[in-house]
Each structure stands twice: as C-alpha cells, then as structure tokens.
C-alpha cells in the first residue's frame, strides 16, 4: 500500500489551527500529554498480555523513552506499549471522538478572542495535538501488539495527514516532534534542551508508574543523556501526605482525570488490616458536561500492588459519587480480577462503603471549614449527590447533613436543613419546599403567595432529582418535608383572619359554585375548594399529599412507564374579585351553563400560573379573545 493522504475531520482541523498558532502560554504541557498517552499504552499492553495468553508480547521491560536530537532539532517520545493498527491511527489521531473536546470547540467558537481561547485550552486539554504547539511537523510510527505491520502517520497540522504502512516498526508508538526553531530570546523554552526536558518530566510526570528514560543524544550544556530514568515512579497514594506536594497530587489528577484544571479537593485513605488498600481520590473543580448521560464513563482506577488493573472501575464508588476521580491500590486482589467479580466481591463492597464515607466526611469538612469551596462543590455536583438520598439509605443522614438549598430567606440565599429547622418559628411544624424547573417559575408560583405574605421560609428545589428524594426522605428530625403545592395548608390563625363562624358562612355561600364547577371540570380535577394559600391569584392547582406531581408524572412517562393521569384539586381564592363575581353570577342563575366557559378559563389560568400548558391551547385562546373583546 502506498502512502495515502487524508483530510482531518473539521473539528480536528480547527483544533490543530489553534495549536499551531498557539496562544497558550504554558507550552510545556505538550510533553505531559505525550507521556500520559505513552503511559496509558503501556498499561493497556500489560493488561492485554495478562488477559490474553495468545498475545505473544514481551512485557518484561515496559518503559517510555525520550530522545533528543539537537542537530535535527527533534524530540521523540517512544513507548513499547499496545500501539495502534492502521485503522486505529486514522480513527484516534485523525478525528476527535472525545466529547469533551467537542464541547471545548463549541465554547472556543464562542470565546473568540485569544485570552478566552487560552483559558479554554487550560481547561480542556487537547492531548496528542498539543505537540503542534512546539513542533511544525509530527511523525508517529506505531505497531499494534500482535500485528505484523506498522503504520507511519505524518502531518504538519495543516488540514491533511498521511498514512503509510511500514514493515519493520517496533511494537508500540514513537512520536517524533520536529521542533520549531528555538526562540533566541527565550532559551528556557528550548525543548531540544536536556535540562528543559528533565525539568518538565520531573514537574509533570514524576508519578508515572513506568520508567521514563532519557536516551542517547548530547544535551546543550554538554550533558550526556546516556540512559537515565527521570521519574521517581513513586505511587503518591502509598505515601504520607507530608511527603507529597500539592502540585504533585494535582499533576496526578490531571493525568488520570484527563483534565487540565486543578482539582477542588484531594482525599487520601490508607486502610490497614486484613484487607489493605490505599486510595487517592479527587473531586474535580468542574462537572463534566456529560455527567447525566447514560453512558458517562465513571469510576476509579484500580491498581493491585502498584500494577494498573483497570480504568473506570464503577464498583468502587456508588453512582451518586461518579464525579470523583482517583486511584485505589489494593494489596490482596488477583491481578486477573474482572469487573463481574468485582461487583460481587465482599471486600470490594466494604471498600466502597468506606470510600463513600470518606468522601462524604470530606464534603462535610469542606462545608464547615471552607464554605467557598463547598459552595463550588455543591454548585457543580449537588444534583448528583442528591441521587444518593434516594439510592443510599445507609448514608442518608450524612448526605442530608451536607445538602444545601436555595431558599426564600437568609443572607446568601442558601440553607441546610439543620439551619432551616433551627430558625423556624415555634408554631411551624413542617419544612416547606416547592419544586419547579427554575427559580423564576417558582418565585411567581401562586402556591407561594400565603407563604410569602407570612414570611414563612420555603426551600426552592429545581433539580429533577428533588421531586424524587423529598418523597423518599419524607422528614428531617421529626419534621415533615411538605410541598407548598400539596395537600391542605394550615398556616395557623392570624389576627386579621376570619373567625371560624365567618369561615363557615363563607363555605356555605360557595358550596353551590364549588359543587357545580367540580362537575363541569371533572375530567381535569377531582375537587374544587376554597384556598388558604392564595392572596393575589384567583386560583391554583394542588395535589393531594400522596399524589404524583406533574413533573414526576412527566418523568415517569419519559422513562417509558405507564402512569395514570393524576387529577388535581382546584383551589379558588374567595377574596379575589373574579371568584367573588363568579359566585354571585352563579347565585343569580337558574341555569348556570353560560358560566361554563368562565369556569374553564379559571382552571386554565391556574394551569398557566404554575408554568403548565392548557390542555387545548387553541380553545383557550379563543375563549380568552372572546372575553377581551367584550371588555372593549
């Protein structure tokens, strides 16, 4: 097969353009990316060799080599890992499959200016292509373990790349960067310098568990590289916290999290005893955009006695902690352990329990010691953590303790359940909340009227999971969690309230209208009654305490479950002129059927007020237009 030329996929081309004209000031990180890929390739080969005895691969000396050629101005990063097949090179290097990168490009288009772009590169990382920040041509030679033929890939990053089969390629991958001319004004950034390369490896890749060797070549400072191992390969998780710098932890995080940003929190756990293991966990500072996708890949890296076993090991943490990244290194697991075995292993389950508690207690610490960081954590991951309130009853209390809410009261507008209960007036028995899609729709909800008027604090719940956990949890410290849109609300008597007698009279006066409306609207509502929660709006819809809310109903339907349509209760505000007028009109009629349209409109208004949509919008518009016309 001859050399063939291919075009980069559009996104890939954009990304390359960005790298070539790089605005990113910290170009050193290109080496971290290439070393990281090499390290992954070595991990993969080790595993493949372990699992597949037909794979005839010598894994006795897996390592990474860096080679500088000062005269040719090249830097080569070589590994004897898994390698890539011809097709894989095209797929993996020629296109952008990584959804994070796609997201990156979208944001990049929006950022437009150079400073914005720089910030974004730092946030997303762009892996292999970052080589083009320092090189004007990149060659990759690779052969996949178990295959005979190798592949050479070359590109100047300008829209096309070439692929060529090669007969005598060594196993693994070598990436050769044809470095851009050194900047005479900035000798410190010459990547053909032995000193510089050593410094970068030490800074960014020291923890890599495979030896990174500098081979051949003579360095500028007259230093012969010989063959020296540049990294200490220390497993950071096995060392005590005092011995490891914050920066070292962060670089490890960036490697395993494929994230260029600093983590929000580093959590270490070293368990001794019969089942010994070490864990080093990280809470990222930003939620990935696909955290709620079905196929979001999560889980920790599993090592057994310092040997990498698998990525994305879900069994180590519950799903509601899927945003946590990190490494777990166990002493007494078989190197051959499979995912299926892990799911059932008693020790793994114990480990999961312990790690979960550890993460939750770190969150708790953040909450008490560093409120700003806690606020970031909650903003990014609160919606995921709350899933645990439903799925993990054992840790429910711990989770409730770190859950915070936006609220109608308080200085910064957030509150914990404990704080809510502490500041709740003595005569209040329940914890009130409202659910909805957004803060705005909630703020204007008629259900809030009486609460607002009386200054009763209401928790504002806007995450989809909120509907579910409030039902599952039910109460906190003996106080019921109650929706302001469910059941009858008794907010206690106030001075200007009607007396019991007056109320009874009112009930009698309205009895006819309520009964008639219920009959008219029976397809949609199961009851019509006078409201205690409205002060401004004419009507609202409420659910029975045990009914599904419309949002939940929709959620179940979206999940493909059959749910009967819940009819709700229509509440009328007896102090509203429209309601009063309707009642009077009803009282004067022998045959009230000409009031049916008004009753229907009143119901539709209640639907609209809570952000819903009238059952038959066209009919609603017609009725409304008709009424308006009569006002002219």
Judged by CB under 6 A, the residue of 29, 35, 38, 582 near ligand ADP is 38
- Give the binding range for ligand ADP (CB under 6 A) out of 75-83, 398-406, 461-469, 482-490: 75-83
Q: Are 114 and 120 in contact (CB under 8 A)?
A: no
Q: Is 199 annotated as a binding residue?
A: no
Contact between 33 and ligand ADP per CB under 6 A: yes
Task: Find tokens 């209640």 and name the residue.
Answer: 606
Q: Are 8 and 169 in contact (CB under 8 A)?
A: no
What's the half-sphere exposure (Cβ side, CA atoms, 13 Å) at 550? 17
Q: Is 218 annotated as a binding residue?
A: no
Q: How far is the CB of 309 from ligand ADP (least distance, A)?
A: 18
Contact between 121 and ligand ADP per CB under 6 A: no
Contact between 37 and Mg ion per CB under 5 A: yes
**Stretch (H or E) spanning 270:** strand 265-271
Q: How far is the CB of 284 from ligand ADP (least distance, A)?
A: 15
Buried b (16+ CB within 10 A) or exposed e, 354-372: ebbebbbebbeebbeeeee
Task: Find tokens 């899927």 and name the residue.
Answer: 322
If DSSP codes are grouped into helix, strand and coil, which group holds residue 497? coil
Q: Are 41 and 172 in contact (CB under 8 A)?
A: yes
Q: Is 79 annotated as a binding residue?
A: yes
Task: Find tokens 């390369």 and name the residue.
Answer: 197
Task: Find tokens 């439903």 and name the residue.
Answer: 390
CA-to-CA distance for 465 and 370, rounded, in angstroms?
26
CA-to-CA distance for 527 and 570, rounded, in angstroms?
6
Q: Which CB, 129 or 620, lies closer to Mg ion? A: 129
Contact between 128 and ligand ADP per CB under 6 A: yes
Task: Report the partner that residue 195 touches, choosing among Mg ion, ligand ADP, none (CB closer than 5 to 8 A by kind).
Answer: none
Contact between 37 and ligand ADP per CB under 6 A: yes
Q: Is 100 annotated as a binding residue?
A: yes
Contact between 582 and ligand ADP per CB under 6 A: no
Contact between 65 and ligand ADP per CB under 6 A: no
Close Cβ partners of 248 (under 8 Å, ≥ 6 residues apart): 206, 207, 236
Judged by CB under 6 A, the residue of 19, 31, 43, 81 near ligand ADP is 81
Contact between 66 and ligand ADP per CB under 6 A: no
Q: Which CB, 33 or 466, lies closer to ligand ADP? A: 33
Give burial (CB, 10 Å; 0-12/13-18/19+) of 59. Answer: middle
Contact between 92 and ligand ADP per CB under 6 A: yes
Residues 167-206, interacting with ligand ADP (CB under 6 A): 173
**Stretch (H or E) spanning 327:** strand 325-330
Closest by CA to 269, choosing from 326, 335, 346, is 326
Query: Between the CA of residue 473 and those of 247, 265, 479, 576, what are the distances in Å?
Result: 40, 28, 11, 36
Beta-sheet pairing, 479-483 with 431-435 = parallel
Q: How far is the CB of 142 from ligand ADP (least distance, A)?
A: 6
Q: How far is the CB of 353 from ligand ADP (least distance, A)?
A: 31
Q: How far is the CB of 224 from ligand ADP (least distance, A)?
A: 26
The total number of residues written for the chain in this structure: 632
Q: Measured in whole angstroms, how far is the alpha carbon of residue 489 from the centre of its chain? A: 37
Task: Report the partner that residue 79 touches, choosing among Mg ion, ligand ADP, none (CB closer than 5 to 8 A by kind).
Answer: ligand ADP
Close Cβ partners of 618 (under 8 Å, ≥ 6 residues apart): none
Task: Report the partner that residue 98 touches, choosing among ligand ADP, Mg ion, none (CB closer than 5 to 8 A by kind).
Answer: ligand ADP
Neighbours of 180 (CB within 10 A): 17
Q: How far is the CB of 113 from ligand ADP (least distance, A)?
A: 25
Contact between 258 and ligand ADP per CB under 6 A: yes
Q: Is 257 annotated as a binding residue?
A: no
Judged by CB under 6 A, the residue of 35, 41, 267, 465 near ligand ADP is 41
258: left (phi over 0), alpha (psi -120 to 50) or beta: left
Task: Report the partner that residue 84 touches, choosing among ligand ADP, Mg ion, none (CB closer than 5 to 8 A by kind).
Answer: ligand ADP
Q: Which CB, 127 or 574, lies closer to ligand ADP? A: 127
- Give the binding range for ligand ADP (CB under 6 A) out of 76-84, 373-381, 512-520, 596-604: 76-84
Judged by CB under 5 A, the residue of 127, 257, 288, 550 near Mg ion is 127
Closest by CA to 32, choosing from 235, 207, 190, is 207
Q: Which residues bind Mg ion (CB under 5 A)?
A: 37, 127
Q: Which residues bind ligand ADP (CB under 6 A)?
A: 33, 37-38, 41, 79, 81-84, 92-93, 98, 127-128, 173, 258
Binding residues for ATP: 33, 37, 79, 84, 99-100, 123-128, 173, 339
């Amino acid at each position: 097969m001859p050399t063939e030329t291919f075009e980069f996929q559009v996104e890939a081309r954009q990304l390359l353009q960005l790298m070539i004209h790089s605005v990113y000031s910290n170009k050193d990180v290109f080496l971290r990316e290439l070393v990281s890929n090499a390290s992954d390739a070595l991990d993969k080969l080790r595993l493949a060799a372990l699992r597949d005895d037909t794979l005839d691969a010598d894994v006795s000396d897996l390592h990474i080599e860096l080679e500088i050629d000062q005269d040719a101005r090249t830097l080569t990063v070589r590994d004897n890992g898994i390698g890539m097949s011809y097709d894989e090179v095209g797929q993996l290097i020629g296109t952008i499959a990584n959804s994070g990168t796609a997201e990156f490009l979208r944001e990049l288009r929006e950022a437009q200016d150079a400073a914005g772009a720089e910030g974004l590169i730092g946030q997303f990382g762009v892996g292999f292509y970052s080589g083009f920040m320092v090189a004007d041509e990149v060659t990759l030679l690779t052969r996949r373990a178990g295959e005979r033929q190798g592949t050479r890939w070359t590109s100047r990053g300008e829209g096309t790349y070439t692929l060529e089969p090669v007969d005598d390629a060594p196993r693994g991958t070598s990436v050769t960067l044809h470095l851009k001319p050194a900047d005479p004004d900035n000798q410190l950034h010459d990547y053909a310098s032995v000193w510089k390369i050593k410094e970068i490896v030490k800074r960014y890749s020291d923890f890599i568990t495979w030896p990174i060797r500098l081979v051949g070549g003579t360095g500028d400072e007259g230093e012969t590289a010989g063959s020296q191992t540049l990294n200490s390969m220390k497993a950071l998780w096995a060392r005590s916290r005092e011995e490891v710098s914050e920066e070292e932890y962060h670089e490890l995080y960036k490697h395993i999290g494929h994230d260029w940003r600093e983590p929000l929190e580093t959590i270490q756990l070293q368990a001794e005893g019969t089942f010994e293991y070490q864990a080093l966990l990280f809470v990222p500072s930003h939620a990935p955009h696909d955290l709620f996708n079905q196929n979001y890949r999560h889980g920790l890296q599993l090592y057994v006695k310092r040997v990498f076993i698998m990525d994305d090991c879900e069994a180590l943490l519950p799903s509601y902690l899927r945003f946590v990244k990190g490494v777990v290194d166990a002493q007494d697991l078989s190197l051959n352990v499979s995912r299926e075995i892990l799911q059932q292993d008693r020790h793994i389950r114990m480990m999961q329990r312990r790690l979960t508690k550890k993460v939750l207690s770190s969150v708790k610490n953040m909450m008490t010691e560093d409120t700003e960081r806690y606020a970031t954590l909650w903003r990014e991951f609160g919606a995921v953590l709350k899933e645990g309130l439903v799925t993990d009853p054992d840790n429910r209390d711990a989770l409730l303790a770190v859950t915070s809410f936006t609220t109608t009261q308080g200085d910064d507008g957030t509150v914990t359940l404990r704080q809510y209960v502490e500041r709740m007036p003595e005569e209040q028995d329940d914890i009130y909340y409202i659910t909805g899609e957004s803060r705005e729709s909630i703020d204007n909800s008629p259900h809030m009227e009486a609460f607002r008027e009386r200054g009763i604090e209401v928790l504002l719940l806007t995450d989809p999971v909120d509907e579910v956990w409030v039902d599952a949890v039910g109460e906190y410290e003996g106080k019921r969690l109650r929706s302001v849109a469910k059941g009858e609300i008794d907010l206690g008597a106030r001075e200007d309230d009607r007396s019991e007698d007056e109320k009874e009279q009112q009930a009698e006066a309205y009895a006819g209208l309520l009964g008639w409306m219920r009959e008219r609207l029976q397809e949609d509502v199961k009851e019509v009654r006078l409201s205690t929660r409205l002060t401004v709006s004419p009507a609202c819809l409420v659910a029975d305490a045990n009914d599904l809310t419309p949002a939940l109903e929709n959620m179940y339907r979206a999940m493909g479950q059959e749910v009967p349509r819940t009819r709700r209760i229509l509440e009328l505000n007896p102090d509203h002129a429209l309601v009063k007028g309707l009642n009077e009109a009803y009282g004067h009629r022998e045959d009230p059927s000409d009031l049916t349209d008004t009753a229907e409109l009143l119901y539709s208004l209640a639907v609209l007020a809570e952000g819903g949509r009238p059952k038959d919008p066209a009919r609603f518009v017609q009725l409304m237009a008709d009424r308006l016309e009569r006002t002219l």
